[in-house]
Amino acid sequence: MKGLYFQQSSTNEEITFVFQERENLPATEDYYVKLQVKACALSQINTKLLAEMKMEKDFFPVGREVAGIVLDGILPLDSEDPGLCEVVRVHEHYLVHKPEKVTWAEAAGTIRDGVQAYTALHYLSHLSPGKSVLIMDGASALGTIAIQLAHHRGARVISTACSLEDKQYLERLRPSLARVIDLSNGKAHVAESCLEETGGLGVDIVLDAGVRLYSKDDEPAVKLQPLPHKHDIITLLGVGGHWVTTEENLQLDPPDSHCLFLKGATVAFLNDEVWNLSNVQQGKYLCILKDVMEKLSAGVFRPQLDEPIPLYEAKVSMEVVQKNQGRKKQVVQF
């Protein structure tokens, strides 16, 4: 059997993915099952996290959001098996039943974004009916699921668009968004728009898609995209608000911290691997996986999936995903 691997020694600029022949799976131990993979979603590999966790290898397996017979789940961070393979060995603690009406591609393509959305809105910011929520880059795969979860919980949702196509997509969503802020032309101001929409009170919850830490002149060229400045996020937060950030290198200066203190606001970091880093949270993790599948089956979650691709195209597609150049979720169908 062949599996797709990431060459850990390569740099972010020279990403290398290779197919390698795999040895036969070892005999199944207690609490492990063999899973015949039917679909596997592609997501970026956090090479920095792997290095910090001292999990560096010459070749690291690719593909962890898998759906197959008989079960479905996210492979743990330290899994030695790539999800982009016909058969993998998985511990039962990382599996959840797939509803019959959910397709393989939908299950694999939704599970990770569903976990991220739940972590951000339920566990980190305590979403409840009537809250106002700003979801940055709502047309992304994660943004779409987060918007749908927030609407399901009865929140008032504002979102940002990075292009005209994204703006049109967000305006077609039902239930309708309270406001779509178009950042593509550089004219809209996130903080002003949110304060206007909330009558000057600010939003209760912000889920960002990255922020600018410096002025445009000092910002690295790689980050010159329609991202709000950290001061904008702090300004638009309401009293007692929650800022959930994906910016792992966020720097808050004393004036920033003082402003957050005056508002009684909180900052939380969204690390989608956190559930796999501690067995203490296993029960909550399985509840999230189960609820994601149930909401997918009920039509609450409607993922933005690209057309499924065969395994032999996974290498090229993964290179695109790793560079964050795709919008829709890419799924490999077996």
Kindly list the averaged pLDDT for each block of 10 residues, start to end, along the chain of length 334.
71 68 64 83 82 70 83 62 74 84 93 94 95 96 96 96 92 94 86 95 95 70 69 96 94 95 96 80 87 95 92 86 81 90
Q: Mind listing the pLDDT tens digit for each residue in 98-112?
A: 899 999 999 999 999
Task: State the pLDDT at residue 214.
Answer: 79
pLDDT-above-70 percentage for the chain: 85
Q: With the C-alpha atoms ordered 277, 327, 16, 94, is the resulting torsion angle positive or negative? A: positive
Q: Which domains does the chain have, with CATH numbers?
A: 2-110+276-333 (3.90.180.10), 126-270 (3.40.50.720)
pTM (2 d.p.)? 0.87
C-beta separation of 173 from 189 below 8 A: no
Task: State the pLDDT at residue 86.
Answer: 77
Task: State the pLDDT at residue 224.
Answer: 46
Task: State the pLDDT at residue 75.
Answer: 66
Q: What CA–CA distances, in Å, run from 176 to 151, 155, 171, 172, 280? A: 9, 11, 7, 7, 38
Q: What is the DSSP string of 211-262?
A: -B-S-TTTS-GGG-SS--BHHHHHHHEEEEEEEEE--TT----HHHHHHHHH
Give me 197's structure tokens.
């929409």
Task: State the pLDDT at residue 71.
Answer: 47
* Greatest alpha-carbon span in the chain: 62
Q: Mind listing the pLDDT tens digit for each residue in 7-23?
A: 765 455 566 887 777 76
Q: Mind listing the pLDDT tens digit for each residue in 24-37?
A: 665 556 677 778 88
Task: State the pLDDT at residue 74.
Answer: 63
Q: What are the residues facing 212 on neighbouring strands?
A: 229
